[in-house]
Amino acid sequence: MIVLGLDPGYHRVGWGVAERTGQKINVRAYGCIETDKSQDLPERLLYIYTDVKKILCEHAPKFVVIEKLYFAQSVTTALKVSEARGVLLLATAELKIPVLELTNSQIKQGFTGFGGAKKIQMQEMVRLVFGMKEKIQPDDAADALAMAYVGILRR
């Protein structure tokens, strides 16, 4: 079973592909879609959409895990992130790939056992769980792998 985790953002979208073979869950690929800060939001959204479609087509996940939107600080940032999230959902719907939406605390709880885990703790747990030598940079990619892992466990 192949699962893609997507950590939405308008500057950077973390993505991680995990694969379950028997009882083992392995990393298949990960990275970030990074947009150019000098571009207007519509161009940035198009870039995200195009890249995520390539990732979806290349890895053919059984389903996608996307983080539900949460914001505590800036409404402006939340709106832009929600627009990027909409582009991700559009790409999955267009390719008829089911989506599992989880909150940040559900992902942290499912992956570390603590819903309030910090970014650095998530990166370290991803490194340990997947047996990697170094932590994944940037943390958006690590979060996306954690999402894929939790998605596999939930299915």
Closest-CA residue to 152 (of 26, 9, 30): 26
The whole-angstrom separation of Cα 97 and Cα 31 is 20
Active-site residue flag, 139: no
Catalytic residue among 51, 139, 140, 143: 140
Catalytic, 143? Answer no
Catalytic, out of 7, 51, 139, 143: 7
Candidates 87, 81, 52; CA nearest to 68 is 81
**94 carries an active-site annotation:** no
Catalytic residue (choose from 19, 67, 139, 143): 67
Question: What long-range pairs does 101-104 form, CB within 8 A, spacing at least 24?
Answer: 101/65, 101/66, 101/67, 101/68, 102/65, 102/66, 102/67, 102/68, 102/147, 102/150, 102/151, 103/67, 103/68, 103/70, 104/67, 104/68, 104/70
Residues labelled catalytic: 7, 67, 140
